[in-house]
Structure 1
Amino acid sequence: MANIKAAQVKELRDKTGVGMMDAKKALVETNGDMDAAIDYLREKGVSKAAKKADRIAAEGLANVYTEGNIAAIAEINSETDFVSKNEKFQNLVKDITKTVADNKPASVEDALELDMGGDSMSSVITEATTTIGEKITLRRFAVLEKTEGEVFGDYEHMGGRIAVLTHVEGSDVSVARDVAMHIAAINPKYITRDDVPQETRDHELNILKEQAKNEGKPENIVEKMVQGRLNKWLAEVSLVDQPFVKDSDKTVGQYLKENNASIKSFIRYEVGEGIEKRSEDFAAEVQSQLKNK
């Protein structure tokens, strides 16, 4: 086997736009012949996949996989919601999440180098990009570990548009899943109000103070009113203080206590959150079409 140098890999990446693992594999397969490696990538359709690299992948699916004391949650993105209904893509999402759970990588970069049936995860994703015809990316993941006497709860909404993983101290999986369903619906930011960072509290407090001043409230009642509003806000963002979605007469904290359980952590992924989607200028598009006629 040819001794492939890092400089060769970089040169091939620069020429084709493919990932490091794909570039190295192509050079290995062609004994370091640069032209042959470029042809190899074209034949495999990888160069075609590279052309999709500048597209925005903000759709896709989130998925949860649990096995024994390990659980993983992952978000895999595509360009359109239509692809999320594709069986090949759905199976890819499940396989990626399971691979992450089995190997517990430290980062997305590490995950992309994991073996998936003889190929790297990066290569498998590239192949799927070529086959399906849309840019596909592993955006993020998390892996949790539990001990005996603890349970995982998982819930996927809209087939994986939202996925939640809960880690609960207690033995009732149904309770953990109920809390996961609540988190999917209500989207709390913290477990308790004590978890809210002081910086975040101060920021909210300043906003509330300005709101009160703009309402023309007397100075002597502003402080009391602001504290009341801050407490209301803290209850809204804290999981255990929120009215339980299946029984609004009790909080999530009360529901957990009734079932001798407490929540240790949770992760909620909503597909595409935080990704700036490309907005098309429809008027400009029409004008462009008219000019071309």
Structure 2
Amino acid sequence: MANYTAADIKALREKTGAGMLDVKKALDEANGDQQKAMDIIRVKGLKGVTKREGRATAEGIVAARVENGVGYMVEVNSETDFVAKSEPFIAFANNVLEAAISANASTLEELKAATADGKTVEELTTEAGALLGEKVVVRRVARVEGENVAVYLHKTSKDLPAQVGVLLAVTGENTDEVAHDVAVHIAAMSPKYLNSDAIAAEDIEAEKRVAEETARGEGKPEQIIPKIVEGKLKAFYKENTLLDQDFAKDSSKSVEKVLSENGATATAFERFRVGA
């Protein structure tokens, strides 16, 4: 007869994020001892790290915080949403965020080399994968500095941790409310750039070429093609740049106008969505 209960299985699953069958096997082997079972799961997990290397990691969490006027954000991925919402995985992601803050990391390389609890983030990632029994990946990090930095985290499902995160830097006094509203807008509308100046010149030229070729292919008169290209470029900016987008809460105004009316100027932003 098994020396453990259904409650023991549930508790160990919550602690490790491991699957039902793996938990039951570990408890059987450990004769019901929770700590021994956790060790068994971890050892077996380490042995399986290489086998998991090619697996997809489309689930996960975005964690972010503002510390001393600087915003930090990380994305950490798992294979399944079951692991993504487990306590060990969420704790690991928060440890990664703490490491990013401590190391002032702005690149993935800096983050992986950062330390927490005497180990590098890269080492901790391997250990997390062993414990959870899935491939775990620290995908990216962002650092945003400015006069005022707002952070917004959004859950796409109430059962999962935050899947979308935004850091937004603005200047101006008493800007907390408008900064929050614009951060929510960024989460929903997915702008790629702050403004047209942030777009590489070659990307703008590519958009112009496509617009010209499309207009000629449609047989448009040569004399009106420049105006067509100008209109297409304006539409491109409106779709992809934050300041040119229609504000989500009031589409009669651009984001830039809303910020200006509130005495604020956006200087930088970062947006993460798990898996995107």
TM-score by length of 2: 0.76
Aligned to 1:153: 150
Task: Supply the AA of the counterpart residue of 2:48.
Answer: K
Task: Supply the AA of the counterpart residue of 1:164.
Answer: V
By relative contact order (CA 8 Å, sep 6+), the higher-ranking structure is: 2
Aligned to 1:87: 87
For residues 1-293 of structure 1, the aligned pairs below 5 Å read: 43=43, 45-105=45-105, 107-146=107-146, 150-157=147-154, 158=156, 159-171=161-173, 172-273=175-276
* Residues 153-196 of structure 1 deviation map (CA, whole Å, 9 limit, x = unaligned): 11122242221111111232222221111111111121122322
Gaps of 5+ in 2: 1-41
Q: Note if contact 1:188-1:238 (Cα within 8 Å) is conserved in structure 2.
A: yes
Percent sequence identity over matched residues?
37
Task: Supply the AA of the counterpart residue of 2:207.
Answer: E
- Which segment is superposed worse, 116-125 or 238-247? 116-125
CA distance in 2, matches of 1:235, 1:110: 34
CA distance in 2, matches of 1:229, 1:123: 48
Q: Give the superposed CA RMSD.
A: 1.9
Q: Note if contact 1:65-1:98 (Cα within 8 Å) is conserved in structure 2.
A: no
What SS does the aligned partner of 2:65 have?
strand
* Residues 32-74 of structure 1 deviation map (CA, whole Å, 9 limit, x = unaligned): xxxxxxxxxx958423223312222232112211122222011
CA distance in 2, matches of 1:241, 1:108: 30
Aligned length: 229
| 1:101 shift after superposition | 1.2
Gaps of 5+ in 1: 1-41, 274-293
Task: Supply the AA of the counterpart residue of 1:263.
Answer: A
| 1:104 shift after superposition | 1.3
CA distance in 1, matches of 2:142, 2:52: 26
What SS does the aligned partner of 2:52 have?
coil
